[in-house]
């Protein structure tokens, strides 16, 4: 039986798209550890998928729409959240988007609009959500975001998403500084390649996965269950002194020089 290290905690989960989503793996792990969760969905196209998944937690699991590119929708989402609870302890940000054409070809060809969109959805949304969630974290809390090594080193075809993830990681550090006095911790998990809907949008993804299997010390990347376990740790009191960090869960790939 999973230890209930998050018993009594209430968390928000942003970014579930389907059962293979990293966000879903972490949400399941949080729930198994005792947390009560509230979910978002972005657009009617994903609503049915997310509704079916969160149904595993019971019919009364709250699920509200939120387009994180809209400040008005973010405010409306948190008004609905406050109708469910007067406090929050956890928040997962697993949101990233760039136009498909920006993840093909050369980075130098990135359009101004693609650059703006990637940063707005993938990085600024963390700032906007943290601003709204912080007043509800009355007893402190843990904010967790998902990133990837393409923020630090060049990964062909990751392009503008790598630059947006670098912005996300820097934002994590500044948020950790701002929110630290309120005992709110902000960290990132940098996951190795995992076969998700988002990953399949990256040109050459399967070659990337094979590269990890060849080069990483553990001869593999990671799986969603391992990401879920890391998510539980960072949300728990066991990580009470950890903030502003990027935790690599990638089979050790990040340590390699060649």
- Give pLDDT, residue 1: 42
- pLDDT tens digits, residue range 44-57? 888 999 999 999 98
- pLDDT tens digits, residue range 54-73? 999 887 899 999 999 999 99
96 located within any domain:
yes
Q: How far apart are CA 125 and CA 127, in angstroms?
A: 5
Q: How far apart are CA 74 and CA 68, in angstroms?
A: 6
- Give pLDDT, residue 197: 62
- Give pLDDT, residue 68: 98
- Give pLDDT, residue 46: 87
- pLDDT tens digits, residue range 227-243? 999 999 999 999 999 99
- Give pLDDT, residue 3: 78
> Which residue reads 């809390």 in tokens?
141
How many structural domains is the chain composed of?
A: 1
- Name the residue range of residue 109's domain: 10-251
Range with the lowest mean pLDDT among 11-15, 71-75, 177-181, 198-202? 198-202
133 located within any domain:
yes
CATH number, domain at 30? Answer: 3.40.50.720
Percent pLDDT > 90 in the chain is 84
Reference 246, options 196, 171, 190; nearest CA is: 190
Catalytic residues: 148, 158
pLDDT at residue 174 greater than cutoff 80: yes
62 located within any domain:
yes
4 located within any domain:
no
174 located within any domain:
yes
CA distance to 110, 182, 224, 225, per residue, from 228 (Å): 33, 26, 6, 5
Q: What is the pTM of this model?
A: 0.94
2 located within any domain:
no
CB 90 within 8 A of CB 142: yes
258 located within any domain:
no
> Which residue reads 């409306």 in tokens?
76
Reference 216, options 165, 149, 156; nearest CA is: 149
32 located within any domain:
yes
> Which residue reads 């007893």 in tokens?
139
């Amino acid at each position: 039986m999973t230890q209930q290290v998050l018993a009594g905690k209430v968390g928000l989960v942003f970014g579930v798209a389907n059962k293979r989503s990293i966000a879903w793996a972490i949400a399941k792990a949080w729930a198994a550890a005792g947390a009560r969760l509230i979910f978002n969905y972005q657009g009617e196209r994903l609503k049915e998928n997310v509704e079916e998944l969160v149904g595993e937690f019971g019919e009364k699991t709250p699920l509200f729409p939120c387009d994180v590119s809209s400040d008005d929708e973010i405010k409306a989402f948190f008004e609905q959240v406050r109708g469910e609870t007067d406090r929050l302890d956890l928040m997962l940000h697993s949101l990233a988007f760039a136009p498909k054409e920006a993840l093909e070809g050369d980075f130098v060809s990135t359009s101004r609009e693609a650059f703006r969109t990637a940063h707005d959805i993938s990085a600024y949304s963390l700032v906007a959500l943290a601003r709204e969630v912080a007043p509800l974290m009355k007893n402190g809390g843990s904010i967790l975001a998902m990133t990837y090594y393409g923020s630090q080193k060049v990964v062909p075809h990751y392009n503008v998403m790598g630059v947006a993830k670098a912005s996300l990681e820097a934002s994590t550090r500044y948020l950790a500084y701002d929110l630290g006095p309120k005992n709110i911790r902000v960290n990132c998990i940098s996951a190795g390649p995992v076969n998700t809907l988002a990953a399949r949008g990256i040109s050459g993804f399967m070659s990337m996965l094979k590269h990890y299997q060849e080069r990483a010390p553990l001869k593999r990347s990671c799986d969603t269950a391992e990401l879920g376990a890391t998510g539980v740790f960072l949300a728990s009191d066991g990580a009470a002194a950890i903030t502003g960090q990027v935790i690599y869960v990638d089979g050790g790939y990040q340590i390699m020089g060649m």
